[in-house]
Structure 1
Amino acid sequence: MAFLVLALVVFHGAKMVHGQGLRPSQCKEERRLATNTCRPVVFGQPASPECCQRVRVSHFECVCPMFTPKLASLLNVDQVINLLKRCGRRVPRRFKCGSLNFP
């Protein structure tokens, strides 16, 4: 369950930039930084300013592939949207990230 929440946090800041073409090593580093910065969220703490900043600068092409059908079925989209809002991010209508679909 902790992985699900952390994956959620990483996704929340997914930057809506298309065609950026990041290298796999850059995506791996983004996921590592988000994991370390947002770890307290996994344990029920509110997102820190540092976590929200990480969420805002992360790239969706790095995190969306993590959202498999199995993982997406375990997530509450409303909670994801609320976390995004608390961190100052908007989710476009009908946004799709991996197998995670937003209304």
Structure 2
Amino acid sequence: MSVVTPQWLADGPGKAVFERFHTRTPGSMVRNAGTWPVVFGLLGNDGQKAKDVRAAVHRAEGTDEIDGYVTWRVKEDVVLRHRTRDRRPGLRERPGLHGAVGSSCCRST
């Protein structure tokens, strides 16, 4: 896996990886021109520029050929609730990294 920018994925191999997947997968849905910016994480579902989107590509073992990709959205500064291990029972709030919220992926092999 290599981390890349969503823009690099959109400008580069993303569509070719999906096309290989689409060709060999019965029932795969066609992606029209308006879908690509959302799938690659450039725009949100509301049409506004997406924030906090990450992307990565997978290369076939022993080659430089990209055979898959994933995009995901990371939300930061979200309050996490967890049990504390001190003497006070209950939940404690802490800001931190929430994790992946929604994703898109494609594997062509």
- TM bucket by the smaller chain? under 0.3
Between Structure 1 and Structure 2, the one with more strand by share is: 2
Greater Rg over alpha carbons, structure: 2
- TM-score after normalising by structure 1: 0.26
TM-score normalised according to structure 2 size: 0.25
Higher helix share: 1
Greater relative contact order (CA < 8 Å, ≥ 6 in sequence): 1
